[in-house]
Structure 1
Amino acid sequence: MSAPKTPCTSEVDHLLLTLNGTFRDQTEMEVELVPFLNALEKCAGDWAPDIVKGARKRRYARAAFWQALKERRDDDSASVALYRAESPAVELTLELWLPPHPSEINVWLDVQPLAHFSNEGDCRGIVEMVRAWATHYPASYAAAHSMADRELAGFPHFGREAEVSRRDGFDKVYELCWLNVFGSHLVESVGRERMLSTPAHLVEELPNGSVLLVLRPTAADFASEDARVAQARAHVHLRPDLDFDTVLRTLRERSAALAPVEPRFHPDLAPLLSRLPDEFAISERQRKTAELNAFRPPVPEEWLPVALPSDVANPERVLESYGDLSEGLVAALHTKVPSIFDATPESLTDLDFYFWRENFPERYERDLIDEHTAPALGAFLGGVLVRRLGGTWVPRQKREESQVRVGKRVWLPFLRARRYMQSRQSLLEYSLTQFFHEAERYRP
């Protein structure tokens, strides 16, 4: 059994704490979890979870926690999730593995924003809580650090095959986080004297032989130059086989990759491009923002200076068929893109984002796209030009030649839709959003 592990939201960096420990008494699970709850309630402060979720959500209380745990228990496992919706937002997942498995307790705590841990008081609370948990539930390894930086560091595999990673675990000091707990086995492999002499803000031996190591007083400044130097020194101390300059250079590169990049998107595409970075891993967003800043789509070419005359025998019937195509698109997508009902410029941007996020052109059958989706999009796009820009349809027997007259130009929405639906990249290069704004400039 496993509760979902998704970040609180996708907007900013988080403090992510993971702890995989063991517990003793499998028959008295509630007794075993009292130290967990005691430490959480004592140390969480203003980020304390206020919702507990089992079969349903309840306000947090001890009784609600025990009830949720019963609801999420089966023969060999149990789990419960705790939340806090208001800032600082929290997701805390507790998983228990029971016989015939080895008795394990896995904690996954996500607090957003990381900036909340810019002061020593809140950071001391995290340290005190982890100290209590790691003392009562001996862990082979535990860590608390920036989620974005953990991603760049390659947690949890560190370049290993997943199978090897699962087998060996954190069997040597691959990385140092802001807060670390090294189990007794790892301490002995490094050397207890060496471990306890690590240059760091806090190095403490726990009663079960584990070592708690905290690099700096606060977690939020992990990417600063001072923090990176401290991280490199401590890492090289624990791993004398590593080169200090090489480690520090890698850490500086990670800091540079996470440095904020101001969005400077193409003005016609800004409503669309501003949504895309959050769809990537948090460690990639600044790089993606820089790439999207540099992106310049081709100027739309799906237009004519003079309209081709209509060559259909019954224009009304053809326009009715366009309406049917458009209504079919609305019927198919209205639950996923609710604004499609409005047929506004904003609904075009919502469609752009939906198709890009779904990677629609590359996930679905080409025949379906060419015969159904692209024609329906062309009809819908043309209809928006008619409704919002005062355009007029000029239907043609060959559908891709059908035009919408706006001012002194005529636009080819079916041709645009076909080019648009060729690939994921073409969704950006031939976006519906840009096409509308280009046509808008020629509105009388």
Structure 2
Amino acid sequence: MLIIRPMHKFFLDEISTWHQETEDQGVRQCRYVVVSEIDNGLLLWNTLTLGLVWINNLSVKDWTDNHLDSNLISLLRSQWFYVPVFFNEPLFLKHLLCQYKKVQAKRTKYTILTTLYCNANCAYCYERHGDFIRKSMTDSIAHKVAKFVNDTRKGNKIKLEWIGGEPLLNPNAIDLICGDLRNYGINFESSLVSNGLLLNEDLINQALNRWNLKSIQITIDGTEKVYNDTKNYSGDIANPFNNILNNIAEIFKANIYLSIRLNLSYTNVHDLERLIWLLIKSFPDKSQYLIYVSLLEQEMHCDNQEKLRQNLSNWIYLNKILSDEGFIQWPLDSNWPINKCIADNENCHVISPVGNLYRCEEISATDVVGHIDTGITNSKKVAKWKITNKTCECDDCLINPVCLNLLNCPADLECNSLTKSIDICKRIFAMKAEYCKFKNNQVV
């Protein structure tokens, strides 16, 4: 047995003081184990301990049928892949997460919408159907945002995320906020979610020098015709797709890390495959960027089981290409999730162009929880975003310890066969990537 990743120290500390039902009265397999075959052996990842091991000459069927000899079972018991028969994993997990939350460092993040206007007209965008008034942040509000950040920050360093709309339609607001933060003596770095069309050399230099920009996320919806038709940019732009490719090259020159999101629908898998190979050929240095595939929300939640199966198959197909090409989309979880996202994290704030405070970046007029002038004023709405949608059925799910979904999150409407399969597949891709990295290091 090879230990690819040891058990998490915090697990070991907590289990050593846990006196309920851990004595060996016979053993059984832990309910929280993800398995996958590789190199004539079996990878086992324990989502409760976060330990990863590889066992030679073992198959998924051997594990499923529990056809393991006593010596191997004893080894696996030492790593908690086998547990005492009466060990209550869900009960211990609740204790573990409660204790783990107490020791996590606090770092403040501010997600700031500089404008709700956008130069693209994507049919799938949730903002096209929002119940808010489109506005851009004024100079006065920008200065107030900086003061709010200074008054509410925790820790020595904060993170800013610029979103919209298209945030680069209002770079002046970003300039003002960053300038004030420097005057306050605040250490910050920022990231940007953009369609990328306006990211020319001059603006990138501005972002580096004034915004301390470290990373950018853009979405590319397909190859040239598909992209241009989907984005449907306002104004007379000859070929937006070529502009995006040119801007990507400028981003790499500036050594800014880039995440490229590909939106997968039921019908565009082959076009996205062509796009992947085009991007890899155009930008061979894969250390500078990540490509990842995300199913459009409407494709994740439907009643058509055949469509769900096809969506999963397409998603796996594209991600296998990316994984084989060395893109590690999801590093294997090294910690248990304390928060799902910014919405349930009290150290994060979403600020609209008029200074309203929200919990989720998918803002709605009914979800305001306060204002930068007054702070949080609606604690009930804040609490609403902390409610999880876990049920007793989750207790037996393989990935329960590393899964956290919110009841009121628009992206977590339900846990269906597709969403669960994708979450497990992500971990299997990550397990194999970590195994290959371990093996390569052993050879060296």
With structure 2 as the length reference, what TM-score do the two structures score? 0.20
- Higher RCO (C-alpha under 8 Å, 6+ residues apart): 2
With structure 1 as the length reference, what TM-score do the two structures score? 0.20
The structure having more radius of gyration, on CA atoms, is 1
> Which structure shows the bigger proportion of residues in helix conformation?
1
